[in-house]
Structure formats: structure tokens, C-alpha cells
Amino acid sequence: MANERDIWFPAKRYGWGWGPPVKWQGWVVLAAFLAGVLYTVVRFPPHRDPLLFALVILSSVGALMLVCWWKGETPRWRWGKDDR
């Protein structure tokens, strides 16, 4: 179908949000996020500059959430397999 979305991050079965990626592109995004967090911990240790550390981590999480929102299923509260 032409209007069907290419989902990288499926919705979780229980709760709100997204589960692990189902496409290689999602795994690349997740790996880049984790690499960015590790780099941030090394480059801006939280004990030296906690505000800068928090800002960089929050911006990284925000970017990940934007990608999940863009390339994932629509988030809503789910109660299990009968809720799909």
C-alpha cells in the first residue's frame, strides 16, 4: 500500500511507548543514541558539569523520541495482545 508507514519501532504490547526496533535503520538509530550517551559521559562527566551533562542527555533523549514518534507506531496505552 502506498500510504502504509515503514515502522522502525513498534508499539509496546503493555504500557505506553515503543519496543525494540524491528528494522536495521532502527537499530542504527538506537546504536547512535547509545554511542552518544557514552561519549557524553566521557566528554562531559556529570560530577564536573551536571547542568551541561543533563542538557546534552536530555537533548539526546528528545532526538531519540522524535525519531521514534516519526518512524514508530502511534503511541497509546496498550493492555496486551487483545488491544492491537
Q: pLDDT tens digit string along 13-48? A: 899 999 999 999 999 999 999 999 999 999 999 999
Could you tell me the CA-to-CA distances from 83 to 13, 15, 21, 30 in Å, in that order?
8, 11, 20, 26
CA distances from 9 to 2, 33, 40, 58 (A): 19, 14, 24, 20
- pLDDT at residue 5, as a whole number: 77
Confidence of residue 82 (pLDDT cuts 50, 70, 90): low
Instruction: Read off the pLDDT band of 4 (50, 70, 90).
Output: low
Q: Are 60 and 44 in contact (CB under 8 A)?
A: no
Place 2 in a pLDDT band, splitting at 50, 70 and 90: very low
